[in-house]
Protein backbone atom coordinates (compact mmCIF):
# COMPACT_ATOMS: atom_id res chain seq x y z
CA UNK A 1 0.00 0.00 0.00
CA UNK A 2 2.85 2.38 0.78
CA UNK A 3 4.07 2.01 -2.81
CA UNK A 4 0.66 3.03 -4.19
CA UNK A 5 0.47 6.05 -1.89
CA UNK A 6 3.97 7.10 -2.97
CA UNK A 7 2.95 6.75 -6.62
CA UNK A 8 -0.15 8.84 -5.96
CA UNK A 9 1.87 11.57 -4.25
CA UNK A 10 4.44 11.61 -7.05
CA UNK A 11 1.77 11.68 -9.77
CA UNK A 12 -0.02 14.50 -7.97
CA UNK A 13 3.22 16.46 -7.78
CA UNK A 14 3.95 15.89 -11.49
CA UNK A 15 0.38 16.65 -12.58
CA UNK A 16 -0.19 13.13 -13.90
CA UNK A 17 -2.71 11.96 -11.33
CA UNK A 18 -5.42 11.54 -13.97
CA UNK A 19 -3.23 9.09 -15.87
CA UNK A 20 -2.59 7.03 -12.74
CA UNK A 21 -6.30 7.03 -11.89
CA UNK A 22 -7.06 5.68 -15.38
CA UNK A 23 -4.57 2.85 -14.83
CA UNK A 24 -6.25 2.03 -11.53
CA UNK A 25 -9.69 2.14 -13.16
CA UNK A 26 -8.54 -0.51 -15.65
CA UNK A 27 -7.83 -3.02 -12.86
CA UNK A 28 -10.25 -5.81 -12.02
CA UNK A 29 -8.80 -6.16 -8.53
CA UNK A 30 -6.89 -3.71 -6.33
CA UNK A 31 -5.00 -5.16 -3.37
CA UNK A 32 -3.98 -2.81 -0.57
CA UNK A 33 -1.59 -4.85 1.52
CA UNK A 34 -0.56 -3.94 5.07
CA UNK A 35 -2.81 -0.94 5.74
CA UNK A 36 -1.40 0.76 8.80
CA UNK A 37 2.11 -0.64 8.45
CA UNK A 38 3.37 2.78 7.33
CA UNK A 39 1.41 5.78 8.65
CA UNK A 40 -0.23 8.01 6.04
CA UNK A 41 0.03 11.75 6.11
CA UNK A 42 -2.97 13.92 5.22
CA UNK A 43 -2.36 14.25 1.48
CA UNK A 44 -1.58 10.55 1.07
CA UNK A 45 -4.74 9.59 2.95
CA UNK A 46 -6.85 11.93 0.81
CA UNK A 47 -5.39 10.54 -2.43
CA UNK A 48 -5.91 6.96 -1.26
CA UNK A 49 -9.52 7.81 -0.44
CA UNK A 50 -9.94 9.04 -4.03
CA UNK A 51 -8.70 5.65 -5.25
CA UNK A 52 -11.23 3.85 -3.04
CA UNK A 53 -13.90 6.22 -4.31
CA UNK A 54 -12.94 5.37 -7.92
CA UNK A 55 -13.18 1.66 -7.15
CA UNK A 56 -16.42 1.89 -5.17
CA UNK A 57 -19.14 -0.19 -6.86
CA UNK A 58 -16.87 -0.63 -9.90
CA UNK A 59 -14.11 -3.11 -9.02
CA UNK A 60 -12.97 -5.43 -6.29
CA UNK A 61 -10.68 -4.22 -3.51
CA UNK A 62 -8.83 -6.39 -1.00
CA UNK A 63 -7.33 -4.77 2.10
CA UNK A 64 -5.04 -6.57 4.51
CA UNK A 65 -4.30 -5.10 7.91
CA UNK A 66 -3.57 -6.03 11.49
CA UNK A 67 -5.63 -3.06 12.69
CA UNK A 68 -9.23 -3.06 13.84
CA UNK A 69 -11.49 -0.44 12.24
CA UNK A 70 -11.35 1.63 15.43
CA UNK A 71 -7.60 2.06 14.94
CA UNK A 72 -7.82 3.33 11.36
CA UNK A 73 -8.47 6.93 12.39
CA UNK A 74 -4.93 7.09 13.74
CA UNK A 75 -3.62 6.08 10.30
CA UNK A 76 -5.80 8.49 8.31
CA UNK A 77 -5.70 11.33 10.82
CA UNK A 78 -9.20 12.56 10.00
CA UNK A 79 -12.29 10.89 11.49
CA UNK A 80 -14.58 11.99 8.65
CA UNK A 81 -12.19 10.71 5.96
CA UNK A 82 -11.68 7.48 7.89
CA UNK A 83 -15.41 6.90 8.23
CA UNK A 84 -15.99 7.54 4.51
CA UNK A 85 -13.09 5.22 3.59
CA UNK A 86 -14.40 2.39 5.79
CA UNK A 87 -17.99 2.99 4.65
CA UNK A 88 -17.07 2.46 0.99
CA UNK A 89 -14.95 -0.58 1.77
CA UNK A 90 -17.52 -2.43 3.85
CA UNK A 91 -20.67 -1.59 1.87
CA UNK A 92 -20.33 -4.60 -0.45
CA UNK A 93 -17.73 -6.54 1.48
CA UNK A 94 -16.90 -9.89 2.93
CA UNK A 95 -14.92 -9.38 6.10
CA UNK A 96 -12.48 -12.14 7.02
CA UNK A 97 -10.99 -11.94 10.50
CA UNK A 98 -8.12 -14.21 11.47
CA UNK A 99 -7.45 -14.39 15.19
CA UNK A 100 -4.36 -16.54 15.04
CA UNK A 101 -0.75 -16.24 16.00
CA UNK A 102 1.49 -14.86 13.28
CA UNK A 103 2.88 -17.69 11.19
CA UNK A 104 6.12 -15.75 10.83
CA UNK A 105 6.55 -15.59 14.58
CA UNK A 106 5.56 -19.22 14.99
CA UNK A 107 8.09 -20.38 12.38
CA UNK A 108 10.91 -18.04 13.38
CA UNK A 109 14.32 -19.39 14.27
CA UNK A 110 13.91 -18.00 17.79
CA UNK A 111 11.23 -20.59 18.49
CA UNK A 112 13.32 -23.59 17.42
Q: For the residues of the chain, what is the DSSP string, one character each?
A: -HHHHHHHHHHHHHT-HHHHHHHHHT-SEEEEEEETSSPPPHHHHHHHHHHHHHHTTTSEEEEEESS-GGGHHHHHS-HHHHHHHHHHHHTT-------S--HHHHTSGGG-
What CATH number has the domain bearing residue 103? 3.40.50.300
User: How many domains, in total, are found in the chain?
Assistant: 1
Percent of all residues in the chain with a pLDDT value above 70, rounded to a whole number: 96
List the domain range (segments joined by +) for residue 69.
Answer: 2-111
pTM score, whole prediction: 0.86
pLDDT band at residue 9 under the 50/70/90 scheme: very high
At 62-76, the pLDDT tens digits run: 999 989 999 999 889
Amino acid sequence: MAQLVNQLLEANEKGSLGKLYKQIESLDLLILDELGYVPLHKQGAELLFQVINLCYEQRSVVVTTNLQFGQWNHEFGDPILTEAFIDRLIHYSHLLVFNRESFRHKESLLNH
